[in-house]
Amino acid sequence: MKMVYKDYTLSPSAVDAISSDVQSYLGRHKVKQSNLHRIRLTVEEVLLNLLEHFGEGFMISVGIGKQFGRQVLRIRYTAEPYDPTKSGENPLTEDILRSLGLFPAWSCRGKSNTVSLVLAERPKHGTLFYIALAALSAVILGALGGFIPEDVRLAAVSSILSPAASSFLGLLSTFAGVMIFLTICSGILDMGDTATLGRMGKSVVIRFIVISFVISAAAAVAVLPFMRLNFSSGAQTQSSALAEIVKMIFDILPSNIIDPFRTGNTFHIIVIAVFIGCALLAIGERGSRVRGLVGECAVLFQHIVSAVCALVPLFVFSMLLQLIWSGQTAVLLTVLKPIILIVVLVAVLTLAIWITSAVILKCPPLLLMKKVLPPSLIAFTTASSVSAFQLATETCEKKLGVKSSLTSFVYPLGSVIYMPSSVVYFTVLVLTFAETYNIAVSAQWIIMAAVISTLITIAMPPIPGGDILCYTVLFSSLGIPAEAIMLATAMGIVIDYIDTGANVMLLIFQIACEAKRLDCLDESVLSEN
């Protein structure tokens, strides 16, 4: 359905009429009731801002329709540049919500202003559905391969399936380094704005990152006894282990600005992003144009990577069929052990943080779990943190007693940079494939794996298939063959629901503890049944 526009003359009655039309449209297209109220309030706020700024009688054009599989609302008007989406929220919070499709985006070319808002966060069938369908199709076609001559199967593998998978990985790698750079750089620019975040915001960000790294390191230590890793140095002495760690510290610094992007060295790309981000902060307003350009480029590359990730089901189909027709299906059994390890570790992590949070908050564990469970179940059953967003923020404020000012800032930020379950997942993943493909590892390699696993969750773009980008960057950085991406994707189909649900639950626990530490917690609300 294409966009259909209708002209309105701004007035209080027009605001009501447009809002009602939007609500009716959403109802007809079966948008979730939990999202419908939020969207209507957002639309009303934008329209009231326009009314207040331009006054009654100002002409606008409102369009609703489907573009690229999403229901979208657009408001167009001709005037001097004016952004009606500013709501008084923290700019960083607004950027995060906008990237999640929960906040309107404003753009302007000359005097042509446009406000866009995604009305439905995902199509009827999500990426996981199409990946599962592709995997099932590959299995069925693979089983029918016995009726196809062997030379024809091998020719199809070498001339079609293998090149198709390699082309997808090459296309993804083309944008991966730049995407990581822009995400980290723009994040630093926002987090370093003292007028925006202040000391409290920086403290929360640093704690989130440190806790994530500790969890990653602990997960690595916990699974090492279950892995048969190839420690290349053999019986390593303490002095040689120390030398490796010192070498790793010096190797962090890139030799030039081009090679990291050419070779896909994630660590060097992150270091460059940190230096450039800090330098732009240091020059203040003189770098405002460049800072704006970085933000716009981050959005641009997010859309590009999203389009590339739409091809993930084809990649899974090609790789799985290639494995079956090449007689390498035994490698698929390697995903069973890491799935069990991840589920056990995430369960232990959740239990530990739950009990620790109950002690810190001085709240009975069962009561605390009762309050946190509803939004977590939504995330568990939908594998979508966006679906649980509204109920999770309401839980923080109305059931746990966290001040709304803290929740409105920390929850969107935490949903991007604090994903402890994902950190466990990535850490176990790289150690598993190091064992599977007999990768030579060392203490330096394991520390690097923990650091990159932590950082990659921060740089993960909030788009369907964004985890594929993370696999590409993670594996290339640690010397793991690209064919492991297909196995990781297969694991993701199983783990994604558990991972998302645990991340939401653990984030709510962490926000409540942060509120207690910052004296932003109403303990009378927390103690209510």
Tokens of 27: 């109802």
Domain boundary among 65, 99, 118: 118
Q: How many domains does the chain have?
A: 2
| pTM for the whole structure | 0.69
Domain co-membership, 45 together with 132? no
Nearest alpha carbon to residue 377 among 367, 398, 394, 392 = 392
Same domain, 193 and 331: yes
Q: Looking at residue 356, which CATH number applies to its domain?
A: 1.10.3860
CB of 411 within 8 A of CB of 511? yes
Structural domain ending residue among the three candidates 88, 118, 148 = 118
State the pLDDT at residue 505.
94
**Neighbour-count burial for 200-211, b at 16+ CB within 10 Å, e otherwise:** ebeebbeebbeb
Instruction: State the pairing for strand pair 230-231/440-441.
Output: parallel
Cβ-based neighbour number of residue 529 at 10 Å: 6
Residue type, 323: L
Q: What's the CATH code of the domain at 38?
A: 3.30.565.10
171 CB neighbour count, 10 Å cutoff? 16
Question: What dihedral angle (degrees, nearest 10) is formed by the CA atoms of 420, 426, 432, 434?
Answer: -130
- Say which DSSP state 120 is in: S
**Cβ atoms 488, 471 nearer than 8 A:** yes
96 and 213 in a single domain? The answer is no
Tens of pLDDT along 51-101?
A: 888 888 889 988 887 765 567 788 888 888 888 877 555 554 455 455 555
Is the pLDDT assigned to residue 341 strictly greater than 60? yes
| Spatial CB neighbours of 328, under 8 Å, sequence gap ≥ 6 | none
Residues 113 and 151 both lie in one domain = no
- Mean pLDDT (the chain) is 78
Same domain? For 89 and 137 the reply is no
Helix axes 91-99, 404-417, angle to 10 degrees: 50
Domain that holds residue 96: 4-118
Domain termination residue (choose one: 90, 118, 146): 118
**What is the tens place of the pLDDT at every residue in 184-216?**
777 666 555 544 445 556 677 788 888 999 999
How many angstroms separate the CA atoms of 111 and 127, rounded? 38
| Statement to judge: residues 290 and 433 lie in one domain | yes
Q: Would you state the structure tokens that stand for residue 371, as one six-digit string?
A: 């309050």
pLDDT tens digits for 489-519?
Answer: 878 777 888 888 999 999 999 999 988 888 8
Same domain, 44 and 145: no
Tell me: do 258 and 234 sit in the same domain: yes
pLDDT at 223: 92
Q: Is the dihedral of CA 44, 49, 50, 55 positive or negative?
A: positive
- What CA–CA distance (Å, rounded) separates 455 from 270? 9
Q: Which amino acid is at 322?
A: Q
- Same-domain status, 378 and 446: yes
Q: Are 258 and 281 found together in one domain?
A: yes
Cα 482 to Cα 169, 192, 312, 315, distances in angstroms: 8, 36, 14, 12
Whether 317 and 413 map to the same domain: the answer is yes
Q: Write the single-letter amino acid at 95.
A: D
96 & 238 share domain: no
pLDDT of residue 478: 84
Which helix (H) or strand (E) segment holds residue 288: the answer is: helix 288-309
